[in-house]
Amino acid sequence: MEIVAAVGIAAVAAVVVNLGIGSLARQITSVGDFGPLNPAAFLPLTLLGVVAGAAGWAAVRRNAKRPASLLRRLVPSVVLASFVPDIALYFVASVGVTPILVLMVMHLAVAVISVPVFSLVLPVVDEAATVEPVALAGSR
């Protein structure tokens, strides 16, 4: 049930923020008919990003010995990997760099919103390191 709450909170916030980013981009740039900045295109992907992030977070939380440490490395790596389709789109579509940067900002927005929500609702803690006592030379 916790994961449903986390997804719901993060999804609503990410949708609102990405709608704002998309609206602002359409007002101040000439992205007009650039399909990926149409809400019908980016809203389902925003939701997919939140759901995939929550699923990944939950899997790491459940299975990793040191989930906090793993997530500190995994989250930035996944966000960077999410830029790959945007970069590819830059070379395929002749729209310039601004719309591509807007898409990347949307990816960052989903992460910046989701990670604190997941941290609060689905907290992760690394297991305490177990240290075996070491006998000092000359001691019994």
Domain of 41, in residue numbers: 2-119
Cβ burial 66-83 (10 Å sphere, 16+ → b, else e): ebeebbeeebeebbeebe
Q: Is 128 contained in some domain?
A: no
Q: Is 129 contained in some domain?
A: no
Q: Is 136 contained in some domain?
A: no
Q: What is the pLDDT of residues 3-57, one digit of tens each?
A: 899 999 999 999 999 999 999 988 887 766 788 889 999 999 999 999 999 999 9
Query: Residue 133's pLDDT is what?
Result: 57
Q: Is 134 contained in some domain?
A: no
Q: Is 138 contained in some domain?
A: no
Query: Residue 112's pLDDT is what?
Result: 98
Percent of the chain's residues with pLDDT above 70: 89
- Which pLDDT band holds residue 87 (cuts at 50, 70, 90)? very high
Q: Is 132 contained in some domain?
A: no
Tell me which long-range contacts 24-27 makes (C-beta under 8 A, separation of at least 24). Answer: 25/98, 25/99, 25/102
- How many distinct structural domains can be found in the chain? 1
**pTM, whole model, 2 decimals?**
0.85
Q: How far apart are CA 121 and CA 119, in angstroms?
A: 6
Residue partners of 115: CB distance under 8 A and separation at least 6:
53, 75
Q: Is 137 contained in some domain?
A: no
Tokens found for residue 131: 């240290």
